[in-house]
Amino acid sequence: MQPREPMQMMELELDEPAFGEVRVKMVATGVCHSCLHAADGSHTGIPMPIVLGDEGSGIVESVGEGCKNLKPGDHVIISWAPDCGACKYCALGFPSLCLNTPPIGKMSGGGTRFHYQGADVNHYGPATYGPYIIVPEAAAVWVRPDFPLELAALIGCSVTTGFGSVVNSAGLRAGQSVAIFGCGGVGLNAIQGAVATGGYPIIGIDVVDSKLALAREFGATHTINPIQQDLDGEIRRLTGQGVDASIIAVGSTLAMQQGVEVLAKQGVAVVLGLPGTGQTFPVDPALLMSGERRIVGSRYGSSNPMVEFPKMVELAMAGKLRIEELVTKRYDLDEADEAFRALAAGEQARGLIVF
């Protein structure tokens, strides 16, 4: 595919897994904003043609030499941040900050495992829109076989990113207030993280009323539609001094600016959403200095997938994390363009492509 062109269904050749790689038969993949940005051209520098998809689940079909942990038949959740096992950030447990990530589109060591008529076809990270994919073993996280594998797909990106943004990145504590900007697939999971932590009030913010209704279902104690309501005034009314944490789970620079402005002293704004390449937002340094407010970035919810995925699975099994309710609609792979359109139009929490 090329940016701004419809996706194409094509039969690709797929290599055998190389050393340390596994071949996975995909069961489901979520429809994520980062892929939408690659498809609509708002993120530049994405090599084409490319197989998109950064969140999914499946069953290990075969393993390459040197694989230590997985065997054919294992159920796995795909991570887009495999641990290289060698760099400082992987050693610290943050593979999403790995210093040895392969260039975008390629496998580590260069090259691709997808081909079309002999030419390389790029991988968007794990490229989970392929019915069969090849990933490093470290990108396939074992999941207990009694967990619904189709739903496990969402743990691969949106669930872990949203939940972790509150629990890890903001370090929210019980009784602290939090505002979540953007109540889509990631924002709803930030709300779930805030509920699990005991945050109060939990304020969901979105310009789409149906998403605010969802936010309340997922545990937001209050909601604000900034088009119809005075955002700043409402937040002051609910919290007095502003919020202890704001989570910006939408790629809007205006929301990022507002997310900083609504902070109480020592509050932290967590930037999760990614606007188009090159967009920036203004910050008043006095807000930061005088009140010790902080702005932090969060990638993959500052989480280590090997640790966090099983935790998310256990929380879901215990009924403390809702995943089925995140799925607005299920699609076939050849409906991926429609799934993207619905995502861009703000019609869905999460679309799930089922193979």
- Least Å distance, CB 77 to Zn ion, is 13
For residues 34 and 258, which CB has a smaller minimum distance to Zn ion in the complex? 34
Which residue intervals of the chain are DSSP H helices? 33-40, 88-91, 149-152, 158-164, 185-197, 209-217, 231-239, 253-261, 285-291, 305-317, 336-344
CB of 140 to Zn ion, least distance (A): 16
Answer whether 300's CB lies under 8 Å from 163's CB. no
Say if residues 181 and 205 touch (Cβ distance below 8 Å).
Answer: yes
HSE, side-chain direction, 13 A CA sphere, residue 2 = 1
Task: Return the number of the residue (99 or 227) whose C-beta is nearest Zn ion.
Answer: 99
CA distance 223 to 132: 41
Rounded-to-integer distance, Cα 138 and Cα 82, Å:
5
Q: Measured from the CB of residue 302, what is the shortest distance to Zn ion in angstroms?
A: 15
**Residue placing its CB nearer to Zn ion in the complex, 102 or 171:** 102
SS3 312: helix
Prior bond to 49 cis, omega within 30? yes
The distance of closest approach from Cβ of residue 263 to Zn ion in the complex, given in angstroms and rounded to an integer, is 26
Nearer to Zn ion, 54 or 74 (CB): 54
Task: Kindly state the smallest distance separating residue 13's Cβ from Zn ion, in Å.
Answer: 26
Q: Kindly list the residues in this chain that would bind Zn ion in the complex (CB under 5 A).
A: 32, 34, 54, 84, 87, 90, 98, 100, 157
Residues contacting residue 183 through CB under 8 Å, at least 6 positions apart: 191, 204, 205, 206, 208, 211, 212, 214, 215, 220, 223, 249, 349
Q: How far apart are CA 309 and CA 121, in angstroms?
A: 29
Give the whole-angstrom CA distance, residue 40 versus residue 152.
27
Cα of 273 vs its chain's centroid, Å: 9
Least separation in angstroms between CB 343 and Zn ion: 11
Name the residue nearer to Zn ion (CB basis): 287 or 354: 354
Least separation in angstroms between residue 224's CB and Zn ion is: 26
* Residue 59 neighbours by CB distance under 10 Å: 15
Nearest to 129 by CA among 305, 327, 336: 336
> Tokens 């149906």 appear where?
210
Shortest Å distance, C-beta 100 to Zn ion: 5
Q: Which is nearer to Zn ion, 62 or 100 (CB)?
A: 100
- In the complex, the smallest distance separating the C-beta of residue 300 from Zn ion, rounded to whole angstroms, is 9
Question: Which residue, among 62, 141, 136, has the nearest Cα to 101 in the 3D structure?
Answer: 136
